[in-house]
């Protein structure tokens, strides 16, 4: 999923990065890798902190155009982080860094949300995304839910429950908070395995 996310960022970055006169061509790949890292780490850190509901709410966002995602707190966090990296690592000025981050990150997230919710796009799914973030912990959660009687369980069920239009998920002692806790633990383990949260080595490996 990480490599697919990198390719999604590449496909979104043509105007904001590739054709940007303020970003030297020799830095294009590094900037794209940094944007990919910002998105992947931001989502993982949110899950690790127990913010699964925020992630599900983000991916249930029907307004992925215009200001719909630009004003989302998770997207705003990513924009600020990415802008800071552009200034510190690539010497962009504050205005240029803010413009790049303010355009690229919402566009990437909009494409990611749309692809994840598109039943005809097999390359992206909420389950696959959570699997990569939690080191496969999401698969165990699905198996446990199915073993407890929720034979058709998937993470779209959770989106429905959080928004009030889905079926109840999980039985006693195995409900939403238990799912949140398990996924948070998996995400924290992935943080520790990757030097406190860094995914850049993995991402740069896909660029070679």
**Structure confidence by residue, pLDDT tens digits, 140-181:** 776 777 677 666 666 766 666 655 554 444 443 346 778 888
How far apart are alpha carbons 51 and 45 in whole angstroms? 8
Average pLDDT over residues 129-147: 76
Q: Which residues lie closer than 8 Å to 28 by C-beta, 6 or more apart?
A: 13, 17, 18
Across all residues in the chain, what is the average pLDDT?
A: 81
* Residue 30 confidence (pLDDT): 95
Q: Which residues of 85-114 are buried (b: 16+ CB within 10 A; e: fewer)?
A: bbbeebebeeebbbbbbbbbbbbbbbbbbe
Is 170 exposed, middle or buried (CB count within 10 Å of its CB: 0-12, 13-18, 19+)? buried
**Structure confidence by residue, pLDDT tens digits, 63-98:** 556 556 777 899 999 999 999 999 999 999 999 999
Average pLDDT over residues 8-27: 95
Alpha helices in 49-173 (DSSP H): 52-59, 73-90, 94-116, 126-134, 137-147, 155-162
* Residue 166 confidence (pLDDT): 45
Domain extents in the chain: 1-208
The tokens describing 6, both together, are: 């990198």
């Amino acid at each position: 999923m990480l490599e697919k996310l990198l390719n999604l960022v590449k496909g979104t970055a043509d105007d904001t990065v590739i054709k940007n006169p303020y970003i030297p061509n020799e830095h294009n790949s590094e900037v794209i890798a940094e944007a990919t890292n910002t998105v992947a780490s931001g989502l993982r850190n949110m899950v690790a902190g127990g913010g699964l509901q925020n992630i599900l709410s983000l991916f249930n966002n029907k307004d992925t155009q215009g200001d719909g995602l630009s004003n989302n707190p998770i997207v705003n966090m990513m924009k600020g982080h990415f802008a800071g990296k552009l200034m510190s690592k690539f010497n962009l000025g504050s205005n240029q860094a803010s413009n790049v981050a303010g355009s690229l990150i919402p566009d990437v997230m909009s494409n990611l949300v749309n692809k994840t919710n598109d039943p005809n796009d097999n390359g992206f799914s909420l389950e696959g995304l959570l699997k990569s973030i939690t080191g496969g912990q999401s698969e165990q959660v699905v198996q446990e839910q199915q073993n407890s009687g929720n034979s058709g369980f998937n993470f779209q069920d959770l989106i429905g429950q959080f928004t009030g239009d889905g079926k109840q998920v999980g039985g006693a002692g195995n409900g939403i908070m238990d799912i949140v806790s398990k996924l948070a633990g998996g995400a924290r383990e992935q943080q520790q395995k990757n030097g406190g949260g860094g995914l850049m080595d993995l991402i740069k490996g896909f660029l070679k």
